[in-house]
Chains A and B, each alone.
Chain A
C-alpha cells in the first residue's frame, strides 16, 4: 500500500517558473524524503526533512512539513528543462520508505 499521495499528478511549466507539488500521508513518521526519477531510471535523493522540522532548503529546493496536517510540499524555484522528471515523496517509518504515486513535472524551454 502507498502511504503518500502527491498532488498534482502532473504539472507542465515553462523554464524559469516555479513548480510546487504537495504530498499528504496517513500515519506518523520519523522523516519525509523527496526523490526525483528521470524516465525509467533509478531514484535520486533530493532532500530529507525530519518530523521535528518545519522547513528545509537545498539549492533551488524548498520543502515544508506540517505534521499536524500530515502534509508536505516541495517547491522548485527557477525551473530548468533538466528538472523534467517524476517527483516522489516518501515517508520513513522505522527505515521502510512508503512512496506516493508521484508528480510528473515537464519543464519546457
Chain B
C-alpha cells in the first residue's frame, strides 16, 4: 500500500508528557499537511510543508507544538507538556504540490490525554 501512513494509530498519555507522531506521505509528494480533528467536527488545519520548508502555521499551533520535515520526506509532530484539550485525532495528508490539488489523508493518530 503506497498511501499515507501514520504512526502510532493510538496514543494514551498523561497530562504533562511529551508525545511525537510520525507521518509518511505518498512517495514523491512534495506537500505534507497536518490537521487536527475533534469529535463531531471537521479537521482543522495546523501546518504544512513544501518539501522540507514549513510554509504556514495556524494560530491553533501553540508554542507547545512543533513539526518538522527534515529531509522533505516523512514528518513528525511533537506536542510538549500535553494538556487534556490536546485530545483529538491528528491527521496527516500529502499532495503532489503540482496542479493537482487533491490531498490524500492518512488514517490518523488518535491522542487521549488523561
CA distance A97 to B56 in the complex (A): 12
Most-contacted residue by chain A among B35, B40, B45, B48 (CB, 10 A): B45
B45 contacts A48, C-beta separation under 8 Å:
no
A interface SS class: strand
A45, A92, A95, A99: the one contacting B44 at CB < 8 Å is A99
Query: Interface on A for B, CB 8 Å cutoff?
Result: 2, 4, 30-31, 33, 35, 40-45, 48, 88, 90, 92, 95-102
- Beyond the given A33-B101, A44-B105, please list 16 additional residue pairs across the A-B interface where CB-CB is below 8 A: A4-B42, A40-B110, A42-B106, A42-B107, A43-B43, A45-B102, A48-B101, A95-B48, A95-B95, A96-B33, A96-B45, A97-B35, A97-B45, A99-B43, A100-B42, A101-B41
B45 touches A45 (CB 8 A): no
Could you tell me the distance between the alpha carbons of A48 and B103 in the complex, rounded to whole angstroms? Answer: 10
Is there a chain A Cβ closer than 8 Å to B111's Cβ? no
Does B31 touch A at the CB level, under 8 Å?
yes
- Measured CB to CB, the residues of B under 8 A from A are 4, 31, 33, 35, 40-45, 48, 56, 89, 91, 93, 95, 101-108, 110
Q: Does B42 contact A2, Cβ atoms closer than 8 Å? A: yes
Q: Is there an interface contact between A42 and B102, defined as CB atoms closer than 8 Å?
A: no
